[in-house]
Structure 1
Amino acid sequence: MPEGIRKVNVIGHLHPDTDSICSAIAYAHLKNEIEHTTIYEPRRAGAINRETAFVLKHFNFNEPELITSVTPQIKDTEIQRQGGIDGEMSLFSAWNLMREAKADTLCVTDDENNLEGLIAVKDIANANMDVFDMSVIGESNTCYANIVDTLKGEMILGDPTGRVTSGSVRVGTTPEMMEDTVKPGDIVLVTNRYETQQFAVESEASCLVVCCSAHISSKVISSAERHGCSIITTPYDTYAAARIISMSIPVRAKMLREGILKVSVNTSVDDARKMMAHSRHRFFPVIDENSKYVGLVSSPNLLAAKKKHVILVDHNERSQSVEGLEQAEIMEIIDHHRIGSIETSGPAYFRNMPVGCTCTIVYMMYRENGVEIPKDVAGLMLSAILSDTLAFRSPTCTQVDRDTAAALAKIAEVDIDEYADEMFEAGADLTGRTAEEVFNSDFKIFSRGNVKFGVGQGSYMTERSRKAAEKLVGPYLAEAAALEELPLVFYLFTDVKSSSSEVLWYGEGAEDIVARAFDTDPENGMARLPGVVSRKKQVIPALMATLQSIQEDVL
């Protein structure tokens, strides 16, 4: 196993059937056992059908998590784990933190790590340049502790946890000059002149800031205590203190609250790149699946996004796989279908065998690696073989499939005939199902030359359930073709016990294609195909050959 791989997604095809789901679970378990790890995780590429739901429930498995795309996501980039800050932090402290962290953006969070806002260097710079806003400290309800910290001062009198609620910042010069400027509630910066200090106190100033660490007489302190005036001393001179005191306001007063551009850990890198291209910001907050803040990301981080690692089971057709496969690292393909259109960026382990089910191959790999098959996993693998081979009736079924099923049934302690009937009946149950649900329960897209077409299949134990499915799905084929953007759609309704199928279709020339492919005479929009039960071996090759012939005739 190469180093640095966080997780490997084991994925079946779109519109997953029982083999697609069960082989993903069984193969992920095998890989974890072989490599003594837990990084291999089964995934599903769509909603599971009722047959598969029955199988999972019967053997006490949960549905694999849904995955619709394997394009790199924000979680695959280098997220800068810059912690959130308290909205009460002063602008001065935030600026210092930015210098230490070499960041120009900080995120403001609450006690539960919910994102409340963000503050950037330019926000602090703009606040610092607004020299005429003398009332900002009071309007921001600034805590005295922030003022003390910003001025590197000491609180001689008053409560550090108290807040400035009104007033402006004034510079005290002489009593004569202060008489018309200092108002009740103001913060007054003074030096060592006793009369200036005392006048400010008697003018009902809310706070006296004594610069240059000047001496404060006991009389001024006593007077300030009587008037409810706080006293702070600072080593800064009046000029420096006047310039920097406004930086004591909390970041919540200047942070961006509305319209914050943020990304989720699950946002694709492509979508994030588009968003960032239309923003003047350099850094963007990242939130997790629970909308909690986790860090920051910038455009350069997106360039180094790691590819997702995937193993494909039960398919090797690009049209049947999840989105973004070209941006992923395909490590392995385990399949039993024809070799299709998927390309890999590098060498990959590819195992393709002419057997009836992917789980038959997976069973071989368990044996080859000497890994014991758990009872519940054996039940899943048996179910997949029974489903794909139509309980050994399909022409794709080999003696290897039969022998494998017998071995798995023994491990799972299952009677094959009884269980197969029960499984197929569960899958054929149409109670409460829509045409779309039945249609998508097992539907795949193929291509021949410049023609794309879709073929679906449903398997039924009784004629009654098969006819009900035909009545439900038939009228939906036109809508399905439009939704899938396909010119041709074919759907097989297979009678398991009689080993025959009836096919419905939609699309220009579809009836003629069916007639030529299966040498049959369709009647009333339907063709009966005795002995045809395998989409892979009997239907797809015939349709491919016919479409190829039609294209050659045109040329």
Structure 2
Amino acid sequence: MPEAIRKVNVIGHLHPDTDSICSAIAYAYLKNQISDIEYEPRRAGAINRETAFALKTFGFEEPELITSVAPQIKDTQISKQRSIEADTSLFSAWNLMRDLKTSTLCITDEKNDLLGLIAVKDIASANMDIFDTAMLSTAKTLFSNVLETLKGTMVLGDPADRICQGNIRIGTTPEMMEGNIEKGDIVLVTNRYETQRYAVEAGASCLVVCNGASVSDVVIEAAKANGCTVLTTPYDTYSAARLIPMATPVSAEMLPEDKVLRFSVNTSVDDALKVMANSQHRFFPVMDEDGRYVGVVSSPNMINVNKKHVILVDHNERSQAVSGLERAEIMEIIDHHRIGTIETSSPAYFRNEPVGCTNTILFSIFQEKGVEIPQNIAGLMLSAILSDTLAFRSPTCTERDRYAGRELAKIAGVDIDEYADAMFDAGADLTGRTAEEVFNSDFKVFSRGHARFGVGQGSFMTESSRKAAEALVGPYLKEAAAANDIPMVFYMFTDVKSQTTEMLYWGANTDQIVARTFGVTPVDGIATLPGVVSRKKQVIPPLMTTLQDMDEEDE
């Protein structure tokens, strides 16, 4: 496999049903047993109560939600640029920028939380502000910063102490300093004893002796008595005066984090490019899922992105797939529906078989690969087969489905009839549910020619639960059509035990379409369809035929 494959998402269709979720979990498990690549199950929407029952029964958490497989920042080449601490001097930051050939550095704390951002222009602006002589004390600058910037030596004092008061002054002669040196000032002097002594006795908090000059014991003793820090620098007074403001910590000049444009590793590349196009910044910090700094990106990083790798289970229609699929690498499709509209950019393994459930196909793949099915995985696979075949009552059910179901039940250690009744009852429970939630429990969008329509289905063990669902969902069909941007909606309320479906519908000419397709006369917007329980085999094909015929008649 190519090295670019970081992991593979195994995804079912939108509005996932039990087969979709259980297929993703079971197939990801199988692939992880036979491959060195990481496979992770994902869900493309909220799970329904039937599926939740199956997951809980066999000890699984619901898979993580995925709404798009378009490239994200984490699929780009994030520059692992080191961050700096808030106390780092402007001088050190500038040198680091030069070494890294960058114009921006990120400032973080010890936990890697973002504190701010500093750019070359911020350092240049600070360096040009020659009239701000209090910058070191205002920023509570560490003496260690001054030592580093001036290549200095500490004669008296603690490098870990901070400059908390005073302005930067140049000490020339005692006469010139009189009236100009105030208590707490940082005074730059040369080798003249009188100048050094006067600055100390005038109350300077720090004496910077330039030109590498020595400091007499008398001056040192006076500095101790007056609480004055003393350091020396090899630079001359002019150079030291220019450099010392650059000892200011970056925290004093940085753009604070609440004003910094940054991206999460989960931000889509498209969204990031839009932000970059409207920003004057070149580099942007990147945060991981916990909000911690991991590096920076710029627009060149977006040129070559690593596509996400996906396996699709239980669908092969673009209208039923997560967004961004055209920008992902489809590795496999495992399905039992009609051949749909998904195209791939490169060859992919495509396994489509006329059985009642995707998990029946997976059962065969487990056997082919010689992988033992664990008890909990077997329980999920059985749940999917019972759901899709209506406990072997659906006309889509094959002998392979029945065989796989019986074998999986043995492994899972459950009674098929008892478990099926409990699972369907859980799915039919309407307590606290909205019409939208029930509608989306199992709903798919289809297209044929110019026609686009949606078909949903709910399965019920009792007439009372079915009627309650009809009363709840029926009024919502118009709103559901608008939400899915389709002109027609059909919803199947299927009685599992009597194998009868009552169909509700909404949209222009849907009354006529239902009557023509199924040869029945709807009553009060409900079409009763005896023996019709399979959306895939008994509803979608005849509906598409009718819509195509009507389209040709209109032409």
* TM-score > 0.5, shorter chain as reference: yes
Quick check: 1:540 aligned with 2:536?
Answer: no
1:93-149 CA-partner distances (Å, limit 9, x unpaired): 122222333332211112222111111122112211222222211111111111111
Match of residue 136 from structure 1? 135
Which letter does structure 2 place at the counterpart of 1:379? G
CA distance in 2, matches of 1:207, 1:400: 88
Match of residue 185 from structure 2? 186
CA distance in 1, matches of 2:82, 2:113: 12
1:181 CA displacement: 2.4
Quick check: 1:220 aligned with 2:224?
Answer: no
1:224 CA displacement: 1.7
CA distance in 1, matches of 2:164, 2:420: 77
Structure 1: state its 5+ residue gaps: none
1:314 CA displacement: 0.2
* Other structure's SS at 1:304 match: coil
CA distance in 2, matches of 1:238, 1:553: 96
Match of residue 21 from structure 1? 21
TM-score, normalising length: structure 1: 0.98
Which letter does structure 2 place at the counterpart of 1:206? S
Match of residue 462 from structure 1? 462
Match of residue 370 from structure 2? 370
* Other structure's SS at 1:213 match: coil
Quick check: 1:293 aligned with 2:296?
Answer: no
Contact 2:6 2:37 in 1 (8 A): no
1:177-228 CA-partner distances (Å, limit 9, x unpaired): 2224222221111111111112211221111110111121112112222222
Which letter does structure 1 place at the counterpart of 2:398? T
* Other structure's SS at 2:259 match: coil
Which letter does structure 1 place at the counterpart of 2:33? E
TM-score, normalising length: structure 2: 0.98
Matches within 5 A, 1:411-490: 411-490=411-490
Match of residue 491 from structure 1? 491
CA distance in 2, matches of 1:218, 1:407: 95
Quick check: 1:145 aligned with 2:147?
Answer: no
Quick check: 1:328 aligned with 2:339?
Answer: no
1:268-325 CA-partner distances (Å, limit 9, x unpaired): 0110111111111111111112212121111111112210000000000000000100
1:524-554 CA-partner distances (Å, limit 9, x unpaired): 1110001110000111111111111111111
CA distance in 2, matches of 1:3, 1:196: 68
1:454 CA displacement: 0.8
Matches within 5 A, 1:102-501: 102-257=101-256, 258-501=258-501
* Other structure's SS at 1:212 match: coil
CA distance in 1, matches of 2:368, 2:218: 93
1:507 CA displacement: 1.0
* Other structure's SS at 2:207 match: strand
Report the identity percentage. Answer: 69
Match of residue 41 from structure 2? 42
1:38 CA displacement: 5.6
Contact 2:75 2:305 in 1 (8 A): yes
CA distance in 1, matches of 2:265, 2:305: 12
* Other structure's SS at 2:454 match: strand
Q: CA RMSD in A?
A: 1.2
Contact 2:390 2:496 in 1 (8 A): yes
Quick check: 1:83 aligned with 2:92?
Answer: no
Out of 306-315 and 500-509, give the one that drifted further: 500-509
Match of residue 70 from structure 1? 69
Contact 2:8 2:37 in 1 (8 A): no
Contact 2:5 2:37 in 1 (8 A): no
Which letter does structure 2 place at the counterpart of 1:111? E
CA distance in 2, matches of 1:490, 1:181: 89
CA distance in 2, matches of 1:59, 1:131: 71
Count of paired positions: 554
Structure 2: state its 5+ residue gaps: none
Which letter does structure 1 place at the counterpart of 2:172? T
CA distance in 1, matches of 2:534, 2:369: 31
